[in-house]
Amino acid sequence: MNNAQVFENKRILITGGTGSLGKVLVRRLLSGELGRPKQVIVFSRDEAKQHYMRMEYLQRAVTTDEVIYQNFRELLTFRIGDVRDFHSVSSALQDADVVFNAAALKQVPTCEYFPYEAVQTNISGPENIIRAIREQRLPIETVVGVSTDKACKPVNVMGMTKALQERLFISANLYSPNTRFVCVRYGNVLASRGSVIPLFHDQIRNGGPVTITTSDMTRFLLSLDDAVDVIFEAVKTANRGETYIPRVPAAKVTDIANILIGDRPIKTQIVGIRPGEKIHEILVSEEEAYRTLERSSKYYAILPMLPEIATSVVEKPALTGEYSSENSVMSPTDLAAMLKARLLMLDQVSPTDGAEFLR
């Protein structure tokens, strides 16, 4: 099939489909940009979020500007279930051709205080997907594990559990040869639930102060649509066991705060690093660099560590060292331009997401 139509007539399951990423993923799938799916299944444990998401689509005349679905209720469906529960995962997978595992506990301090909860969602959840496919010989074509830069050289529970999710999905290629398991790994997503920009917005609305953990902190930045682009690119071009990495800019957190504050009389306050936080994030480690290829001007691909899975040979690695946010920092001018463009785009979807802060 043409890569431009990879989702044509496919049944697509999204675990954690009511989250920030899941919502944008659903919108992009329904747009038909990579083919019209036969069905998009949102799988999550929160019935209230599913209800509001369902009502949002029921009240639209069209699902996107490009495609009108006369009977989209058959196209977009919702299933209550928890990735921690093997039986509900197994049941949901019966109807899928492609699986996006976006279910996660992703708040770094929360995972530090409740590490076993992170283990159950971020490790046992993926294992339930793998086990169901393997034991029931389900004809699922592709599984994409959504990971994070915190999985690279992890120092916190969230990153450790996500790193193990990556290894679980990669090794699953050995035992389910008819299913392609791949991963994507990226950094801080602008305006996603729990990320730094919505926090700064709330603090600015309330008159400050804007709290910064340390003045040295840097973060990779990309939008939710950029994150979905990485996922779609992996579906289109990744080989079994590969991990896709976007080539994205980074910024100092202090610069983000100052740009959002602008000329308002609001102070910043250094409060210290939260439990489990890094000063800089890394998308590719030194160990991974020697098996990293350049797939395009926008993406790197990390080949699997297991030689039985790797299908490519690295004659000339794309990187000579780790890919760190410390080494990719934008100037304040470039950052301001990026934030303005990205947050204006977000405002087209939700007018409260941030362009009001960029005068």
| C-beta neighbour count of 347 within 10 angstroms | 16
| Six token digits for residue 33 | 């940009």
Question: 109, 276 in Cβ contact below 8 A?
Answer: yes
Q: Where are the beta strands (DSSP E) in the chain?
A: 11-15, 39-44, 76-80, 98-101, 142-148, 180-186, 188-189, 210-212, 218-222, 243-246, 250-252, 268-270, 282-284, 292-294, 299-302, 323-324
Nearest CA-CA partner of 259 in 333, 345, 353, 188: 333
State how far the Cα of 229 lies from the Cα of 8, in Å rounded to an integer. 17
How many Cα atoms within 13 Å fall on the side-chain side of residue 263? 1
Question: 189, 21 in Cβ contact below 8 A?
Answer: yes
State how far the Cα of 34 lies from the Cα of 264, in Å rounded to an integer. 44
- The catalytic residue among 10, 150, 162, 278 is 150
Q: Reply yes or no on whether 150 is catalytic.
A: yes
Going by DSSP bridges, is the β-strand pair 98-101/250-252 parallel, antiparallel, or unpaired? unpaired
Residue 126: in which H helix or E strand, if any? helix 125-136
DSSP annotation of 279 reads S
Question: 242, 301 in Cβ contact below 8 A?
Answer: yes
State how far the Cα of 115 lies from the Cα of 158, in Å rounded to an integer. 8
Q: Is 354 exposed, middle or buried (0-12, 13-18, 19+ CB in 10 A)?
A: buried
> Hey, which residues does 78 pair with through a beta bridge?
42
**What is the set of active-site residues?**
150
